[in-house]
Homo-oligomer: A and B are copies of this chain.
Amino acid sequence: MLLLHLADVDEAGWAKRLQAALGSYPVVRRGDGFDPADIRYILVWKPAPDAFEGLSNLELILSMGAGVDALLKHPALPPVPMVRFVDEDLTQRMSDYVVAQVTMHHRLQSRFQADQKARRWVQLYPPAAAETVVGIMGLGVLGQDAAERLVPLGFTVRAWSRTPKAIPGVEGFVGEEQLDAFLGGTDILVNLLPLTPQTTGILNTDTFRKLRRRLDGGPVIVNAARGGHQREADIAAALQDGTLGAASLDVFEIEPLPVDSPLWDIANCYITPHIAAISHPDTGARYFSQVIADHRAGKPLHNVVDRGRGY
């Protein structure tokens, strides 16, 4: 039996699609009458503290999100394997966001917007794409896809990851000891890291000061990963004193972003309300029904979370 425990999303829609995909295999929701001992699988999003209570025969936890940083902090997480959602549609949407932000900043949108406001006609020519270095932090599925879309557009792309990964046309930097070299040649920094104790707060003043200052207005950051990666006080200060030329932020330390945040009013801060990418129930039902079928058939699982590594 599969139990759904999905807060803040259309749980009924997910239930309907999963039941259709799983055929006769039973799907239940919180509040339905069922014996907790019958639950073999649980699909979760923002699980409550008692979400796993009584699930004595649980075999697998399914995470609706690709990021499991919040889930790993759950106070009563059962010691069974966890599979996270890796969703082609979500990957496409995330890359849509990243490409839109990178190309917008490459074309100096903040500068032209300021000129427009002042009714100023100044023919500043943006650099060629090849002259602009995009540095991607994190080379999971999302980082790799973003890199593979930016390279054909002509950008010079480099990436920083925990372990070496070879992507054609992308210069790789690995581990703590190569971080400064990576940052020192980056004009537009894109964060797609998992949130772990090691990466918490990585978008801070010290990091911003290490970026290359070749783009008109200053270097740019794009954060589409987690609010926990960023120090918002540092970002606000860096945007105002010119350490950064612009920032695109889809995630925040507290969400929704509090109305008294100074970020709202900063013209070169591009705020979106955590909408870069979303897990869609249609692809989700296909994905998780396949995971359950594979698990029941004793086949190897993909995208299993490594609790030590944190993702």
On A, residues with C-beta under 8 Å from B are 89, 92-93, 96-97, 99-101, 103-104, 106-107, 109, 112-113, 115-116, 119, 121-126, 128-129, 149, 152-154, 255-257, 259, 264, 270-275, 278
**Min CB gap A128→B, angstroms:** 7
**A109 and B116 contacting across the interface, CB-CB below 8 Å:** no
**B106 and A103 contacting across the interface, CB-CB below 8 Å:** no
Q: Which residues of B contact A104 (CB under 8 A)?
A: 100, 103-104, 109
A224–B180 alpha-carbon span in the complex (Å): 39
A96–B106 alpha-carbon span in the complex (Å): 9
Q: Which residues of B contact A270 (CB under 8 A)?
A: 109, 112-113, 116
A116–B271 alpha-carbon span in the complex (Å): 6
Closest B-chain residue to A269, C-beta based? B116
**Min CB gap A80→B, angstroms:** 31
Closest B-chain residue to A93, C-beta based? B128
Q: Which residues of B contact A126 (CB under 8 A)?
A: 93, 96, 275
Give the top 3 A-B pairs by smallest Cβ distance, nearest first: A100-B103, A121-B256, A100-B107
